Amino acid sequence: MIVVFGSINLDLIFPLASLPTAGQTVLTPTARIEPGGKGANQAVAAARDGSSVVFAGAVGADPLAGLALAGLEAAGIDLSRVERTEAYTGCAAIAVDRAGRNHVMVAAGANLLARADQLEDALLGPGTTLVLQMETEPQQTAALILRARARGARIVLNLAPAAALAPEALRVIDLLVANQEEGAWLGTRLGTGVNAASLQQALGVGVVLTLGSEGAEAATDGGRVRIEAERVDVLDTTAAGDCFTGVLAASLDRGLTVEAGIRRANRAAALCCTRPGTQGSLPTGAETDAF
């Protein structure tokens, strides 16, 4: 079972010919509104891949909440541990250019009110893969990691966006997933090289670094591996990282090795990049396996 503690947003997506520079106004004839948030996206990715998923997070008591939750509901995810708060529902503005590159701005809103105690201890045992990101309050994320470690869950932390986390929590996870920028940020803080092996040696936990069009590399107690990316015509990379993390977690949860999980996650993320949007771009497990 996958348990996700994370963010729920409503995304406003602007397809542009080119990303704006400082002070520049760029016009576009269309925009899309879609459910998003790193936590929600990763939960939907895991559910579409075939996993049973429980989600804990927070939305506002506002009209945006229903739209933000729609993708999670459609994926059949257990939302009984999502709370409505007096804060506004989290939202994001995303600009995407013709090469699929993006700029993302996020207003956290209710996501900062999500609490670790929304998840009971029974959901944090050895049969659970717990997935977390850094769009919720770091103290709550750390508290949940420590509880899950004590109860035997597998813990996957996506260090996105890059933010400080209590060392006693960071050093007891099972797998850290980060992109190049997040890895560089962490490497600077730790005084290490910016590669999976250096980070793994410094932290003592498994590390997966995603490298965009260059694929991904991993360093765990089982060894080191670098896996090339699948070659596709890229339309939109917005959800690629969340797709990768969600499918990797789902693959580990069903017993695959880290290397095999990365290969599946690479295929899923490649498919995701050929489609527009966030949750609407996430493939099913059958699509990933047939790719």
Q: Are 46 and 252 in contact (CB under 8 A)?
A: no
The helix/strand/coil state of 76 is coil
Cα–Cα dist 247/51, whole Å: 9
Report, as an integer, the average pLDDT of 77-89.
97
Report, as an integer, the average pLDDT of 158-165.
96
Cα–Cα dist 248/192, whole Å: 25
Q: Are 159 and 182 in contact (CB under 8 A)?
A: yes
What's the pTM? 0.93
Report, as an integer, the average pLDDT of 177-204.
94
Cα–Cα dist 17/156, whole Å: 36
pLDDT surpasses 90 at 175: yes
Which position among 236, 242, 253, 289 bears the catalytic label? 242
- Residue 101: pLDDT band (50, 70, 90) is confident
The pLDDT value recorded for residue 99 is: 83
Q: 38-48 and 240-253 are packed helices; what angle lies between their axes, rounded to 10 degrees?
A: 50
The pLDDT value recorded for residue 70 is: 96
Report, as an integer, the average pLDDT of 258-284.
94
Cα–Cα dist 196/202, whole Å: 10
Cα–Cα dist 268/89, whole Å: 28
Domains of the chain: 2-6+37-86+114-290 (3.40.1190.20)
The pLDDT value recorded for residue 277 is: 83
Please count the CA atoms within 13 angstroms of the CA of 234 that sit on its side-chain side.
19
Element (H, E) at 113: none
Residue 193 makes CB contacts below 8 A (sequence gap 6+) with: 187, 199
Amino acid (one-letter) located at 185: W
Q: Are 133 and 178 in contact (CB under 8 A)?
A: no
| Residue 242: active-site member | yes
The pLDDT value recorded for residue 102 is: 83
pLDDT in tens, 105-146: 999 999 999 999 999 999 999 999 999 999 999 999 999 999
pLDDT in tens, 20-61: 888 999 898 999 899 999 999 999 999 999 999 999 999 999
